[in-house]
DNA sequence: TTTAGCACTCTCACCTTGAGAGTGCTAAAT
DNA sequence: ATTTAGCACTCTCAAGGTGAGAGTGCTAAA
């Protein structure tokens, strides 16, 4: 059913009030603070209807109202006005970014910025190696038939993995291999899958006469096994959750924080939104994970040279200032995209 | 003043009881559970003396006793019996370690093991590049006069830093440089300072005729600037703190967690104990940081091939099972030393 | 359609109260 | 000289009662 204008106004007022105070909103507060020129009785009447339609609820019969997830959803989709960061806030962000010169530092700065600006948990999903082009590969023998593979991408992302080989590969062969591969990479924009395809054809030909061919073949196969490459997660602001009034009871807190502690859990949630063009907002019970069904998530992808690379997000109580959260997430993801594209 | 045997026995009993229950210990509980063949009145008398000497205190006049920091200190130094892990616990730890093949993973596993076994916060200070010998150096130009330096050590530690250079250094020069440096490293056990000394002499001679000598010289200087190399910190088990009864009040929790959130704070605390041979135990107010004066820290260095490399530790409420905590920290630091020495 | 008025509901802070846990002191027992 | 039984005393804590206050829904009048 469609709400009339007055109901929308009242719902919006309740939302704004509740977001700032975290306390049930009464009809008289609305009448007083939001000059709607309506009596408390009328407002009560409308609130009653809003409750019947599941946009509001009451903790007990004689208390004020609190928005439901459905209420927040309507607000986010239809009622709220988009907000924009102030110019000096934007400047601050740029200034802070300028201090971090290096890839890792930039990612850490991003999660810190997110958590500090929003007073919520900030999370950044590092770019996956797949979304980068490869700049350099180095093989280093570390004894016991183990080889450390270090791959460096154009953005300065350094990935490493250790490979156990069944036989022996000499240092000369390793050098030969890395030289050969690096020669393919010079001045070219080749990603990991591309590279693998190129190598699969060429290397086999070159190496087929080698004695240790099988070892080398297996080694290279494992080297490009995508499963082992995980994107890094940067998380900040866990404390922010603790100070929120809705999580005063330690058992609720516990529940959320055990979800957060497992960094990958949040990362996996956010990873889904890498393909979305727009900012994604997931409210309360819309979250599939039970642990964060009292929370909302605002997530957005970032890009490197136009290509989706990773995602950032914030996690906080459903009672959050959505317009501001969205504007922060969007501004930061844009800036991060710019910075990473320049690297 | 020296306590007599009976007082020591009673103090130990109070400590054991309080450590398991987290509640003030009464004279009758001691009489009942720890068959000392003394009446409650006698125990009360002794407890009273112990309180006068600041080993115990009471939250209020008619409550049981709680150990003071001084009480814990006496316990740790003189009263407690050293404990040892059970054989199957040791086996479990070794099994878990066997799953992690790679340097980073090993460090993460260590902090997880610490936190899970102790039910406290586990922290691991990664080995500093200084304490490793260098295996390979790679320079990669990432545009805008920036060069990414990747240094790989014998343990598989991968360090990176980004250097801004004022002029231009061609890719050929970079290749030449890294080849030259790597040639010095082959089959040798050279650490960063060593390497720097060797290079300072030799490189200048070789390069003196080069046009871009100054740029290169500055670049190499910056490259070996130790300030920029920080050791990594691995932290786990933040939630464990929340479930401790002593931190029910969220403001206390807040205080501790804000200290933990700043990973470097705990890292810096632990770093001090790198030079100590023995396990270091810091109890409550012995900690210089106010935020963790309700906590105790058990820390110990680990070694790589006999040389001190980094440190591990656990942080929990002063009310912890010290013998067990110590045995866990010691066993894990030994195992970690073994594993890293084998890499 | 709106609203003043009112009865009603629920919470919350505050108080009282009594049981229970635990102590320190003292005088008697060992 | 030590130990302990006995007892008065202190403090906490949970339970129950109370009244103020906040807020509601309903109704009848504007």
Provide the shortest C-alpha distance from residue B338 to chain A (in Å).
15
- Contact between chains at B158 and A160 (C-beta distance less than 8 A): yes
**Across the interface, do B104 and A258 touch by the CB < 8 Å criterion?**
no
CB–CB of A238 and B253 under 8 A?
A: no
**Token pair in block for residue B173:** 């020069």
Q: Alpha carbon of A1 to those of A6, A13, A52, A55: distances in Å?
A: 14, 20, 12, 12
Question: Which carries the bigger pLDDT value, residue A209 or residue A307?
Answer: A307
CA of A114 to C1' of D27 (A): 53
Task: Give pLDDT tens digits for B39-48.
Answer: 999 999 999 9
Q: A44-48, A239-243, B202-206, B280-284: lowest mean pLDDT where?
A: B202-206
Contacts of A287 (CB under 8 A, 6+ apart): A269, A293, A295, A297
Q: Are A140 and A147 in contact (CB under 8 A)?
A: yes
Res B42: pLDDT: 94
Six-digit token string for A17: 């009030």
pLDDT in tens, B13-61: 999 999 999 999 999 999 999 988 899 999 999 999 999 999 999 999 8
User: Rounded mean pLDDT of B189-212?
Assistant: 78
Give, as ranges, the nucleotides of chain D with any atom within 7 Å of a protein CB. Answer: 3-6, 9-12, 21-27
List, for residues A120-157, the tens digit of each pLDDT value. 999 999 998 888 888 888 888 777 778 888 898 887 78
With cut-offs at 50, 70 and 90, classify the pLDDT of residue A210.
low
Evaluate whether A38 touches A31 at the Cβ level (below 8 Å): yes
Q: Does any CB of chain B come closer than 8 Å to the CB of residue A152?
A: yes
Residue B1 predicted with pLDDT over 70: no
Binning pLDDT at 50, 70 and 90, where does residue A188 land?
confident
- Which pLDDT score, from 0 to 100, does residue B180 have? 87
The pLDDT value recorded for residue B90 is 98
Is any Cβ of chain B less than 8 angstroms from the Cβ of A164?
Answer: yes
B310, B231 contact by CB (below 8 A): yes
**DSSP H helical segments within A57-191, as ranges?**
69-74, 87-99, 103-118, 171-185
Chain B touched by A239 (CB under 8 Å): yes
Q: What is the pLDDT of residue B54?
A: 95
Which domains are seen in chain A, by residue range? 5-79 (1.10.10.10), 87-126+232-342 (3.30.450.40), 130-228 (3.30.390.10)
pLDDT in tens, B282-312: 999 999 999 999 999 999 999 988 989 999 9
Note whether A230 and A207 are within 8 A (CB).
Answer: no
**Inter-chain touch B144–A236, beta carbons under 8 Å:** no
Q: Which of A237-241, A332-336, B239-243 has the highest mean pLDDT?
A: A332-336
d(C-alpha B101, C-alpha B111), whole Å = 15
Cα distance between residue B234 and residue B248, in whole Å: 26
Q: Calculate how close chain B gets to A254, using CA atoms only, in Å.
A: 7
Q: What is the mean pLDDT of chain B?
A: 89
The reply to whether A48 touches chain B by the CB within 8 Å rule is no
Q: Which of residues 263-292 of B touch A (CB under 8 A)?
A: none
| pLDDT above 80: residue A204 | no
Query: What does the alpha-carbon distance between residue B50 and residue B7 come to, in Å, rounded to a whole number?
Result: 7
**Bases of chain C within 7 A of a CB of the protein:** 2-5, 8-11, 20-26
Q: Is the pLDDT of residue B142 over 80?
A: no
CA–C1' gap, B74 and D13, in angstroms: 33
- Interface with chain A: mutation pick from B158, B185, B241, highest number of A CBs within 10 Å: B158
Look at A101 and B162 and tell me if their CB atoms are within 8 Å: yes
Point out the residue nearest to C1 (C-alpha to C1').
A42
Element (H, E) at B238: helix B238-243
- Nearest chain B Cα distance for residue A92, angstroms: 22
| Least confident window among A169-173, B76-80, B95-99, B157-161 | A169-173
- In this structure, is the CB of residue B40 within 7 Å of any atom belonging to strand C? yes
Is the Cβ atom of B17 within 7 Å of strand C at any atom? Answer: no
Percentage above 90 pLDDT, chain A: 55
Shortest alpha-carbon distance between residue B128 and chain A (Å): 18
Q: In terms of pLDDT, which residue wins out, B251 or B75? A: B75
Query: CB contact, 8 Å: B80 with chain A?
Result: no
Query: Could you tell me if B154 lies within 8 Å of chain A, comparing CB atoms?
Result: yes
Q: What is the pLDDT of residue B245?
A: 86
Angle in degrees, CA B121, B262, B321, rounded to 5: 20
B152·A140 Cβ contact <8 A? yes
């Amino acid at each position: 059913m469609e709400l009339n204008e007055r109901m929308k106004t009242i719902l919006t007022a309740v939302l704004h009030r509740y977001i700032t105070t975290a306390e049930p909103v009464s009809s008289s507060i609305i009448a007083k603070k939001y000059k709607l020129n309506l009596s408390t009785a009328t407002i009560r009447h409308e609130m009653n209807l809003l409750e019947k339609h599941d946009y509001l609820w009451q903790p007990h019969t004689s208390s004020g109202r609190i928005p439901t997830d459905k209420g927040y959803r309507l607000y986010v989709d239809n009622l709220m006005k988009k907000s924009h960061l102030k110019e000096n806030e934007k400047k601050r962000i740029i200034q802070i970014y300028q201090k971090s010169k290096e890839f890792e530092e930039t990612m850490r700065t991003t999660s810190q910025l997110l958590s500090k600006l929003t007073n919520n948990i900030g999370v950044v999903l590092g770019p996956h190696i797949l979304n980068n082009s490869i700049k350099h590969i180095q093989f280093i023998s570390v004894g016991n038939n183990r080889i450390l593979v270090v791959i460096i991408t154009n953005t300065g992302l350094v990935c490493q993995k250790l490979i156990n080989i069944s036989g022996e590969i000499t240092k000369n062969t390793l050098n030969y291999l890395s030289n050969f591969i690096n020669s393919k990479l010079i001045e070219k924009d080749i990603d990991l899958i591309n590279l693998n395809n190129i190598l699969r054809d060429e290397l086999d030909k070159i190496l087929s006469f080698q004695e240790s061919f099988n070892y080398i073949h297996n080694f290279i196969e494992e080297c490009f096994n995508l499963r082992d490459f995980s994107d890094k997660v940067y998380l900040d602001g866990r404390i922010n959750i603790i100070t929120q009034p809705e999580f005063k009871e330690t058992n609720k807190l516990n529940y959320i924080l055990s979800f957060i502690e497992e960094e990958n859990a949040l990362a996996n949630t956010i990873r889904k939104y890498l393909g979305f063009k727009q900012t994604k907002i997931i409210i309360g019970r819309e979250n599939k994970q039970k642990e964060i069904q009292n929370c909302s998530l605002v997530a957005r992808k970032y890009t490197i040279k136009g290509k989706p690379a990773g995602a950032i997000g914030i996690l906080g109580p459903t009672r959050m200032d959505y317009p501001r959260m969205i504007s922060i997430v969007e501004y930061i993801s844009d800036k991060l995209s710019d910075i990473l594209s320049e690297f």
